[in-house]
């Protein structure tokens, strides 16, 4: 089973348990990015999460935005990018940019 499939299995199980969820998916990358397109992060209403879309501050920001998506239901596209000199601090190891689609799971 691939990493993406594993996270989707976790998402399905958590949804069956009645948890309110958001699913983040890397939809586009430019330059160097820690996770490829198709990588997933699932977040529940209590802040528990599985998977990865980047690392560092990027994942923290995605998790924070997930609470709004879970509460209001409107999906979001989030974009993160940094210059090479600050890349390590925010979790984009060699600069680059990523776009993440964040949606509520019914």
How high is the pLDDT of residue 56?
75
How far from each other are the two terminal CA atoms of the chain, in whole angstroms? Answer: 24
Bridge pairing between strands 40-44 and 76-82: unpaired
Which region, left, alpha or beta, applies to residue 12 given φ > 0 means left and ψ of -120 to 50 means alpha?
alpha
DSSP secondary structure of 7-71: HHHHHHHHHHTT--EEEEEEEEEES--SS-TT-EEEEETTS-EEE-SS-HHHHHHHHHHHHHHHH
- Distance CA(99)–CA(83), nearest Å, equals 16
Instruction: Look at residue 83 and give its three-state secondary structure.
Output: coil
What residues make up the domain containing 8?
Answer: 3-105
Predicted structure pTM score = 0.84
Per-residue pLDDT tens digits of the chain, which is 106 residues long: 455 569 999 999 999 999 999 999 999 998 777 889 999 999 999 999 999 998 778 889 999 999 999 999 999 999 987 655 555 555 545 567 899 999 999 7
DSSP state of 4: H
For the chain, the domain total comes to 1
The confidence score (pLDDT) of residue 95 equals: 62
């Amino acid at each position: 089973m691939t990493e993406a499939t594993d996270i989707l299995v976790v998402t399905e199980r958590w949804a069956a348990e009645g948890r309110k969820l958001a699913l983040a998916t890397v939809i586009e990358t430019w330059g160097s990015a820690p996770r490829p397109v198709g990588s997933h992060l699932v977040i529940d209403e209590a802040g528990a999460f599985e998977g990865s879309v980047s690392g560092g501050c990027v994942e923290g920001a995605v998790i924070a935005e997930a609470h709004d998506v879970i509460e209001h239901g409107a999906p979001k596209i989030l974009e993160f990018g940094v210059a090479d000199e600050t890349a390590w601090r925010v979790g984009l190891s060699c600069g680059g940019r990523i776009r993440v689609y964040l949606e509520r799971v019914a």
